[in-house]
Amino acid sequence: MRHPRRLVLLIGLFLLALFPFAGPPAVASPRASGITVATEKTFAAPAVNAPLTREGGGNPSRAEVASDVGQTGPDTLLYTSDVVDAGQLFDRIGVHWRAAPGTENSFFVELRTSSNGTNWTDWALLTADEDMANPDTNEWYAPPQLAADNARYAQYRVWLTDGDPRDVVRVGMTFMDVDDLNAGPIARFVNDFVGAAKDVARSFTEPAAANAAAVGATKVLSRQDWGADESRMQWVPRTYPVQKAVVHHTVTDDGGTNVAATIRSIYYYHAVTRGWGDIGYSYLVDKYGN
């Protein structure tokens, strides 16, 4: 193993030596494989015949969003799930639920995550994206949420404001690793190395004007730039004349310093969990204006 490691080190030093002459590309290549490792877990009628707590006028956490949640009444019951082991590490999690007909506004769902099942994030109130709702099944989808660092466990709870546990027909959880958390150290190193190599190649091929673009200039990025796994795309794109444009907020995290990872989680959630076969947007704009 000594010689292969020495070779990798020498190649890495060679790539680093090229950057002063070539300059970094305008947009860094993704440092992940683009393959989302995901697990789906579903729970049928979770609150029926389960231990429930009568809250009597209590409030879900983050009660400051009273316009959405409101005060829970005297008949409110609280169901708290068992701790759910994802069976893998995950950095994003999407929760969706099916409500009995006409009861979608009678309960609220909260989520927390943990790396060890002992230390937890705060409870976070989930807001369903109405555009993702399935009216045929009355299934509602909260956009993917950031999880605790190196998360493996999750727990949800449901506030039943009319006191009927039958309102919740099903709860589903999509655990997503969009950053190769479950890959070994060698695989992660290879991803970093390949990304750096692509950056070196692009630094020579991109026009100099692109690298010297004015601050604030918009750059259009391709699906490859954010690491789309095209094997998840299950529909044939169709082109129509543009008639109008709708601006929609994704209600996800802003991506921090890794916007591409957030987009990959949205892509998987739309394409696979929701069943659309692709991401549900024609274009996305990140916080940097790309």
Q: Do residue 51 and residue 172 come from a single domain? A: yes
Q: Do residue 119 and residue 160 come from a single domain? A: yes
Residue 283 belongs to a domain: no
Structural domain range at position 230: 2-34+181-200+217-273
44: helix, strand or coil: strand
pLDDT of residue 113: 99
Q: Do residue 53 and residue 11 come from a single domain? A: no
Query: Of the segments 28-42, 53-67, 145-159, 203-217, which one has the largest average pLDDT value?
Result: 145-159
What is the C-alpha separation between 217 and 280, in angstroms, rounded? 25
Read off the pLDDT of residues 241-271 as tens digits, 9 standing for 90 and up.
988 888 877 767 777 778 999 999 999 999 9
Residue 289 belongs to a domain: no
DSSP assignment of 74-139: TT-EEEEPPPEEEEEEEEEEEEEEEE-TT-TTSEEEEEEEESSSSSBPPPEE----GGG-BTTTTE
Residue 103 belongs to a domain: yes
- Domain holding 93: CATH number? 2.60.120
* Phi–psi pair at 112, nearest 5 degrees: -145, 160
Residue 125 belongs to a domain: yes
Residue 290 belongs to a domain: no
Residue 205 belongs to a domain: no
Q: Do residue 154 and residue 78 come from a single domain? A: yes
Q: Helix 2-22 and helix 185-205: axis angle, to 10°?
A: 30
Mean pLDDT taken over the chain:
81
Residue 186 belongs to a domain: yes
pLDDT of residue 106: 96
Residue 126 belongs to a domain: yes
Q: Do residue 109 and residue 25 come from a single domain? A: no
Number of independent structural domains in the chain: 2
**How far separated are the first and last CA of the chain, in Å rounded?**
42
**30 in Cβ contact with 195 (< 8 Å):** yes
Q: Do residue 101 and residue 194 come from a single domain? A: no
Q: Do residue 22 and residue 60 come from a single domain? A: no
Report yes or no on whether pTM surpasses 0.75: yes
- Amino acid residing at 91: D
Token pair recorded at residue 177: 């690793």
Higher pLDDT, 1 or 38: 38
Is the pLDDT at 199 greater than 60? The verdict is no
Q: Tokens 């506030």 map to which residue? A: 159
pLDDT of residue 62: 41
